[in-house]
Structure 1
């Protein structure tokens, strides 16, 4: 299993190597979409429903439909709402 992150923890003169590895492995089989009878790949395009123009990925936002209008939700707002996520690792010694 490949390490996602590796470093060392230092306690005074003692350094202990540490690796962070994924807890699960993906066993999903991924398929390509082909047109029947050919070997031509089929791609999905993001298009504007009203104009039919293709929309670049960086111009796409997430929004909630209220029934009358849409409320746009930015990625930063979703990160603030995510429960229990932290970039800190707390180590508690057991005595």
Structure 2
């Protein structure tokens, strides 16, 4: 089976640094507990190119396979992260690739 890389880009609707810090804490607390999650990475861009297009923060979740990603989407441990992002995001892009 092919690994899935789930990329979430967020433009926050606030300058409050506590919002992305909370998203990071929630992601690292809840998402690794979900079966099939291989790794979780979060953070702001550190690219010198400046091509973020207004996006402030990123979440990358690696899954063992597509079935694990599919089970993650409705999983209760995903809700705190998704709800926090949904409550504070101006824009969100989700992009999944087979890795």
TM-score greater than 0.5 by the shorter chain = no
* Larger-Rg structure: 1
Bigger strand fraction = 2
With normalisation by structure 2, the TM-score equals: 0.19
Higher helix fraction (1 or 2): 2
